[in-house]
Amino acid sequence: MKLSSRNLDTVIVLTAALFLIASLLFFVAVDIFNVFGVSERLLAMQDGETAYVWYHWYEFPVEVLQWPTLAAAMLIFAIVYGKASERPETADLSPLGSAPIVRRFSLLIAAGLLLMLLEDAGDVRHIITDLMNMLTGGAGGGSRYGYAATLFELGYFAALAAVMLFAIVRYRHAFIRDQRTVYWLAGGIVFYAVAVASSWAGSAFGAVLDISQLYTAVGNRAVELLFVNGAHSEALYEHARETVGNVGFMFMDRVYEETLELMGAAFLLAAAVRVYNLMRQ
């Protein structure tokens, strides 16, 4: 397996950032400014689906791109584990740590990435949450979250994060001497932490407290400022309310959250590539 470019890790992060900037400009051009009348034509053609480009674009390709990105990072860390296992216990892998430390670190990170991939692609927590609601009679109020489901989701995210954080803190000497690896791992953790914390605080936690959900409140304000500014945009918004329902929540769930998660996945893939290339030196 060749990942020959010494700067491939940087290229991965820059490519993800440029793609997300282009995605933002794309939906702004169509959904806000109605460039070339594209939005009007989309609205005229829609039957049962919202005409908002952002609603579809951030589901595919933005969300779907996270899956191969996480899978690639997991595979590369698994390969690093295999290569480190082939080295003698006393082997010096500078600037990485010793072979045993690199082996344990890469195995735990690969396991954490597998759990993240299963959650992102398989919606495992929602399946379990829905099962809990079915067994307990549901959360009520149109929400999937009651106290039990909210506590479960908090514990689920905490357990998933614990695997990654334990690997990074306990086996930090596997990568701490390489500044770029530190940056990529820190960036990946921060992006995902913000996305997860926002999602939990804005949906599950808000539902339990019986307050106006944070995601909905912020999303509605953003939608009003961005989109509801003319006859066509108001028609587009009303159509979205009929087809999507909670437009503000979906805007945050897709545009805000998926942007953070794709950047987080890109940073973790960059870290995997960087560690792999350091192993080959």
Q: What's the domain count of the chain?
A: 1
pLDDT score, position 125? 77
pTM higher than 0.85, yes or no? Answer: yes
Q: What is the 3-state secondary structure (H, E, C) of 146-159?
A: CHHHHHHHHHHHHH
**Residue 55: which residues within 8 A CB-CB, separation 6 or more?**
240, 244, 250, 254
What 3-state DSSP class applies to 195? helix
In a domain, 2, yes or no: no
Tell me which amino acid residue 123 is: D
Q: pLDDT value at position 68?
A: 98
User: Considering the domain boundaries, does residue 92 fall inside one?
Assistant: yes
**Residues present in the chain in total:** 281
- The domain of 71 spans 8-280
pLDDT score of 138: 58
The string of DSSP codes covering 91-115 is -B-TTS-BHHHHHHHHHHHHHHHHH
Q: Let me know if residue 171 belongs to a domain.
A: yes
Short-list 92, 75, 126, 51, CA closest to 276 = 75
Work out the number of other CB atoms within 10 angstroms of the CB of residue 139: 20
Whether residue 64 is contained in a domain is answered as yes
Instruction: Encode the chain (281 residues) as per-residue pLDDT tens digits.
Output: 556 577 999 999 999 999 999 999 999 999 988 999 998 888 888 767 788 999 999 999 999 999 999 999 999 999 999 999 999 999 889 999 999 999 999 999 999 999 999 999 887 877 777 777 777 665 554 455 566 777 777 888 889 999 999 999 999 999 999 999 999 999 999 999 999 888 877 666 555 555 547 778 889 999 988 887 777 788 888 889 999 888 998 999 999 999 999 999 999 999 999 999 999 87
**Residue 195 resides in a domain:** yes
Classify residue 3: in a domain, yes or no: no
Q: What is the pLDDT of residue 137?
A: 63
CB atoms within 10 A of CB 123: 12
CA 261 to chain CA centroid, Å, is: 2
90-99: list long-range contacts, CB under 8 Å, 24+ apart.
93/278, 93/279, 94/177, 95/177, 95/178, 95/278, 96/174, 96/175, 96/177, 96/178, 96/275, 96/278, 96/279, 97/171, 97/173, 97/174, 97/175, 97/176, 97/177, 98/173
In this structure, is residue 47 part of a structural domain? Answer: yes
CA 51 from centre of chain: 24
